[in-house]
Amino acid sequence: MISRQLENHWDEFLSALEGIEWTTQPNQVAKLSQDYFHFSPVLQPLLGEKRADVVVFPLNEAQVLRVVKACVAYKIPVTVRGAGTGNYGQCVPLEGGVVLDLKNMKTILEIKPGWVRAEPGAKLAQINKLASEIGWELRLLPSTYRTATLGGFIAGGSGGIGSILYGWLGDRGNFLAAKVVTLEEEPQVLELRGDEVQQVNHAYGTNGIIIELEMPLAPSYPWAEGIIVFSEFMAAARFGQQLGESDGLIAKLISIHAWPIPSYFTALQPYLLDEHHAVLVIFDQNAMEPLEDLVNEFEGKITFLSCRANKVLNLGEFTWNHTTLHARATDPNLTYLQSRFPSDPKLELVQRFYEHYGEEVMIHLEIVRYQGQVSPCGLQVVRFTTEERLQEIMGDLQNHGIAIFNPHTYILEDGGSRTINPLQVNFKRKVDPYGLLNPGKMRGWWEMGEEGGGVNPYL
Amino acid sequence: MISRQLENHWDEFLSALEGIEWTTQPNQVAKLSQDYFHFSPVLQPLLGEKRADVVVFPLNEAQVLRVVKACVAYKIPVTVRGAGTGNYGQCVPLEGGVVLDLKNMKTILEIKPGWVRAEPGAKLAQINKLASEIGWELRLLPSTYRTATLGGFIAGGSGGIGSILYGWLGDRGNFLAAKVVTLEEEPQVLELRGDEVQQVNHAYGTNGIIIELEMPLAPSYPWAEGIIVFSEFMAAARFGQQLGESDGLIAKLISIHAWPIPSYFTALQPYLLDEHHAVLVIFDQNAMEPLEDLVNEFEGKITFLSCRANKVLNLGEFTWNHTTLHARATDPNLTYLQSRFPSDPKLELVQRFYEHYGEEVMIHLEIVRYQGQVSPCGLQVVRFTTEERLQEIMGDLQNHGIAIFNPHTYILEDGGSRTINPLQVNFKRKVDPYGLLNPGKMRGWWEMGEEGGGVNPYL
């Protein structure tokens, strides 16, 4: 089903695209209209059938501008896509129209110590490969770093590997500048710098098409990987929290998994023990001996340790949202939560919920820094029964002061802060007066009263 | 006055030293028996007249062993000295004897990404110069980094520039290994690794002579320097605390100075305003724009900003203990405190003591990380009247939950944690059975009861 607007103007639209790659081939369109929302049994029925009418692959700014101009002229929805590694339907076109796949805009424009500027389609792994040649790397990575793009990560990601050192993508300094194409009658190209970038940061591409990004880089340590197992879950959790609080021990990943989650890590089985809880760490290899001392203090057992790049297990790919991927590979009935526990060196709430739900809500923690404090994020693996039960569990956690970032909604605000961000809504009014960008995703757009609803107060 | 033991065995001692550099020249001996304890009007009369009998300058391990063997044979006290930049009499020989000046043992033995091994006489600035060639630098530096030695810093330092990123020298991972010469009849050379190094960390050289050290390195960012002034002190303090809590903004120095402290920074006057409070920062130059946004949020004014290495003001030399040095250059009646405020984003105690004491106790804060939390350390500049008043002020702060590290004592434990460290006392029993090393500095040595007092339970 082609959306009405596009159907009525198909020939004009196609001629506007002349020389730009596009496809309507059904299998391709189906694939490029989806992401990993199937992690959620709630999202699956809502998004599984959504399709773009056409997927367009611009090569550069000039082509983006031509596509955008045609879309504005005929009021065709535009949903921007990176690699489609998100889990919340970020790039799923709810109202058909154009999916703008930016995979061909992948140039790494400039790179220097501490800093990179790249096009949105650049893969995170590719940026890291180039950065490592000068001793640097991206500060924050999702577990999908091998395939994910920079633009997609900024539009829908929030943190990941590195968050224990650098906090979150939303923290000042972790996203430096963006070049954005607007969906006005005469599309503009804006350069947002400093705090201005927060207007498009984690906005699912609802308020501008990001066509270049400036990111800070982190120094690249000689990293080592380790797997540590514990017979007591709380020893594993406390070890992880303590490692996070150890300012002299540099780790970029501290990922804690209550049994039976480790049983889902097929490739890591040689290093895991039955009925044991596991902590996966990536750390400065110069900290090997002090780390061993800390492991001994908490009575853990190191089962794998490697400093050599050619002997790593890529432990990052078993953490953050990839933990759920591995769990679901064993049991597709599993799903997950996203939460942040208050900073508490004693981890009392972690213990409470470990004991309370047992294997219905298996504890997976990522130790992070949040507003300067070391805190555990929970990406609990849940044995799904009903949506009501899932909501009940999330409500229970929230009532105990645990922040929930609901991964079972495709609505921008419902998944994240649960509050409408007037900064982002106002920016959308300015740059997308017809509400064509990723429609149906930004709650603030239809809820912010008279000034909202697609009427642009700036025109 | 030559100490009895040395006087009785002078000829034998000298012949044992054959081929090793030494001096008894009074001016040189006087200079090499002192440090910067004159910061403290309390220490000045206690330490001002203390002199070694002879200063010995060994070149290598073999020479150290020969000196030590002679000292043990004739029971001559040995006080180890680096550059003498400490403020608490760390290297002042209370009972005469030998000052062992390690300035000639300054070889940087090996350096690689994240790691360095050096002799104790290596200057911190020299290590940094070499490290910077491979993109690294020392994690923590005192404000005396131009002249201070690595061995002296470990033996008496605790943190400094970099503590906002890496915590303290006492934190696991910030001091990796030490080679130590014992003062037994047959001196041994021990290699301490991992947690074992805590036995000699910040021990004033009372329990072993450190002759090699392994330290972790920090990645070297393209650093920038900035001076920011504020009309309201609490705005300056809150800006600094917020910068420390901003995980995405990399700063290695956040140094906050209430007026009139800025008036003492003669060389910085072009960038300071009358009646204004100042924050000195060293930060990642890629964070320039987000830092400016943060400054604007707190209504500060940037008066100096430079990314260029050849245009820096070396702001680090106006911070930490050097702040007091500059203040005393203007008014020798000024002295200081060392304290740590509890972690509190609202800085309520800072505000209380800013208002309470006014210019009697001028607030100087260094924002640091302590056990994973961002906290202000206070190195308050005090208008000295009497020792009783000084003690009263320190007692008042302590009663409000502020930790005091008294810089007006030469006793190891009284200046730091205020508790005897059995680990260090037991190590002294083992390696210095006759109590010859830096006598009179370690309270635990004479207070830990029957097993103590110089009787070595290990022999």
Q: Which two tokens stand for residue A296?
A: 């001994």
Minimal C-alpha gap between B5 and chain A (Å):
42
Q: Which two tokens stand for residue B238?
A: 């809150």
B174 touches chain A (CB under 8 A): yes
Judged by CB atoms closer than 8 Å, whether chains meet at B114 and A284 is answered as: yes
Q: What is the pLDDT of residue A4?
A: 73
Confirm or reject CATH 3.30.465.10 for domain B108-219, answering yes or no: yes
Domain residue ranges in chain B: 108-219, 223-404
In this prediction, residues B123-149 reach a mean pLDDT of 97
Q: Which two tokens stand for residue A67?
A: 């596509």
Mutate: best of A154, A164, A169, A286, partner B, most B CBs <10 A = A286
Chain A, nearest residue to B174 by Cα: A248
Q: What is the pLDDT of residue A448?
A: 81
pLDDT tens for each residue of B248-258: 999 999 999 99
Tell how far CA B52 is from the center of its chain.
Answer: 22
Strand-pairing partners, residue A153, are none
* Cβ-nearest to B247 among A247, A248, A369: A369
What is the torsional sign of CA A109, A188, A74, A458? positive
Judged by CB atoms closer than 8 Å, whether chains meet at A114 and B167 is answered as: no
d(CA A166, CA A218): 9
d(CA A316, CA A216): 20
d(CA B302, CA B305): 7
B250 touches chain A (CB under 8 A): yes
pLDDT tens for each residue of A168-190: 999 999 999 999 999 999 999 99
Minimal C-alpha gap between A447 and chain B (Å):
29
A371 touches chain B (CB under 8 A): yes
In this prediction, residues B436-458 reach a mean pLDDT of 72
Judged by CB atoms closer than 8 Å, whether chains meet at B289 and A193 is answered as: yes
Judged by CB atoms closer than 8 Å, whether chains meet at B176 and A290 is answered as: yes
Strands, E assignment, A163-300 = 177-181, 189-193, 209-219, 223-230, 251-257, 277-284
* Cβ-nearest to B286 among A115, A135, A370: A115
B453 sits in the region (left: phi over 0; alpha: psi -120 to 50; else beta) called left
Residue B452 has pLDDT above 80, yes or no: no
Q: What is the pLDDT of residue B144?
A: 96
- Give backbone dihedrals phi and psi of A449, rounded to 5 degrees, phi first: 75, -160
> What single-letter DSSP state applies at residue A439?
T
What is the Cα gyration radius of chain B? 22
Q: Which residue has the higher pLDDT, A360 or A418?
A: A360
pLDDT tens for each residue of A350-360: 999 999 999 99
**Bridge-based pairing state of the strands B78-81 and B98-101:** parallel
Token pair 């994973």 is found at B372
pLDDT tens for each residue of B76-94: 999 999 999 999 999 999 9
Judged by CB atoms closer than 8 Å, whether chains meet at B248 and A167 is answered as: yes
**Bridge-based pairing state of the strands A98-101 and A54-57:** parallel
Residue B309 has pLDDT above 70, yes or no: no
Which band of pLDDT confidence, cut at 50, 70 and 90, is reported for residue B450? very low
Judged by CB atoms closer than 8 Å, whether chains meet at A290 and B172 is answered as: yes
Tell how far CA B140 is from the center of its chain.
Answer: 10
d(CA A22, CA A25): 9
Residue B459 has pLDDT above 50, yes or no: no
- Contact present, B230 and B239 (Cβ < 8 Å): yes
- Contact present, B363 and B233 (Cβ < 8 Å): yes
- Label residue B385 exposed, middle or buried (CB < 10 Å: 0-12, 13-18, 19+): exposed
Using alpha carbons, select from B137, B368, B162 the residue that is nearest to residue B282: B162
Q: Which two tokens stand for residue A457?
A: 């107060």
Which three-class secondary structure state does DSSP give residue A262?
helix
In this prediction, residues B385-414 reach a mean pLDDT of 96
| For chain B, percent of residues with pLDDT exceeding 70 | 97
Does the pTM of the predicted model rise above 0.90? yes
d(CA A361, CA A384): 9
- Give backbone dihedrals phi and psi of B352, rounded to 5 degrees, phi first: -55, -50
d(CA B98, CA A214): 59
DSSP H or E segment with residue B127: helix B124-132
Q: Which two tokens stand for residue B130?
A: 């070499």
Judged by CB atoms closer than 8 Å, whether chains meet at A195 and B293 is answered as: yes
How distant, in Å, are the alpha carbons of B273, B295, B395, B400, B421 from that of B352? 24, 24, 15, 10, 33
> In A, which residues are within 8 Å of B167 by CB distance?
246-248
Judged by CB atoms closer than 8 Å, whether chains meet at A176 and B216 is answered as: no
- Contact present, A173 and A152 (Cβ < 8 Å): no
A219 touches chain B (CB under 8 A): yes
Minimal C-alpha gap between A93 and chain B (Å):
32
Residue A417 has pLDDT above 80, yes or no: no
**What's the complex ipTM?**
0.94
Residues in chain B: 459
Judged by CB atoms closer than 8 Å, whether chains meet at B194 and A290 is answered as: yes
Q: Which two tokens stand for residue A359?
A: 């294997």
- Contact present, A233 and A278 (Cβ < 8 Å): no
Compute the mean pLDDT over every residue in chain B, rounded to the nearest whole number.
94
pLDDT tens for each residue of A65-107: 999 999 999 999 999 999 999 999 999 999 999 999 999 999 9
Confirm or reject CATH 3.40.640.10 for domain B223-404, answering yes or no: no
Using alpha carbons, select from B102, B108, B3, B18 the residue that is nearest to residue B54: B3
Minimal C-alpha gap between B165 and chain A (Å):
7
